[in-house]
Structure 1
């Protein structure tokens, strides 16, 4: 079986739940040192080789949690294969906002 596949992964959640830091940790092994809000979205690729199956490439769309971009989010999330909704367990509001994502 030859799996070679691209998967669009939308990473969503309120601003400041550390979505970008999670992506940085997955790709580079370390978190982003300073908080810089994502404007719009950032797209990064992360590939994994699976023995005897091929390569899976995740196209990670780190989508801004800012309310000012709410109108554009539907366009960016469209045709995603998967999504991760991130929350900050120390921030009750981010937990309650999961239903909006």
Structure 2
């Protein structure tokens, strides 16, 4: 069976590393010099969770203020929205709530919070991390530079989508009913 393609959108302020996160996942390496995303772009990658495959379509959105009005267009029909901030950028952390409001407008999406650049020396980093971990349910501390936290993040993203697919399949089966029972009912409902 062909794995279903799942849309994963990355949102957040400019320069928090959204494009670097996607490149790290798809190419397996960090690129220091990347140009800012204009509008959006997307790439696909395959994830394997305990032998079950899911194809993820990773949508990179522009973080610059002038493109913010386009973000709802790009995040429409997303399965997961990764709200990205940088540990060394207090404004991006403060703007998580703004991005969360945008994510909540997409009724199909589960928001995950991703704090990038955790490899950098940041004053009070542990205090910042523990405060954020208390505040948000799905939160990941990663580094696009070192790859720290990537396996856990993308395992959980893929696993969430595999579980969502299993629930959708069981709901479909429940709605359709047992085909053997239906065939028995059809035989009994003759006209004579």
TM-score (norm 1): 0.89
Question: Which structure is higher in RCO with an 8 Å CA cutoff and minimum separation 6?
Answer: 1
- Distance, in Å, in 2 between the alignment partners of 1:94 and 1:49 is 31
Q: Distance in 2 between matches of 1:3 and 1:89?
A: 38
- The counterpart of 1:90, out of the listed 75, 88, 91, is 88
- Match runs of 1:26-45 below 5 Å: 26-45=25-44
Partners of 1:84 and 1:28 in 2: how far apart?
19
Structure 1 residue ranges, 4+ long, deviating more than 3 angstroms after superposition: none
| Distance across 2 between alignment mates of 1:48 and 1:79 | 20
Higher strand proportion: 1
Deviations 1:30-76 (A, max 9, x none): 1122031000011000112452x4x3110000111011111211111
Secondary structure of 1:86's counterpart equals strand
User: Which ranges in structure 2 are unaligned for 5 or more consecutive residues?
Assistant: 100-192
The structure carrying a bigger helix percent of its residues is 2
Please give the root-mean-square deviation of Cα atoms over the aligned residues, in Å.
1.4
Equivalent pairs, count: 98
Greater C-alpha Rg: 2
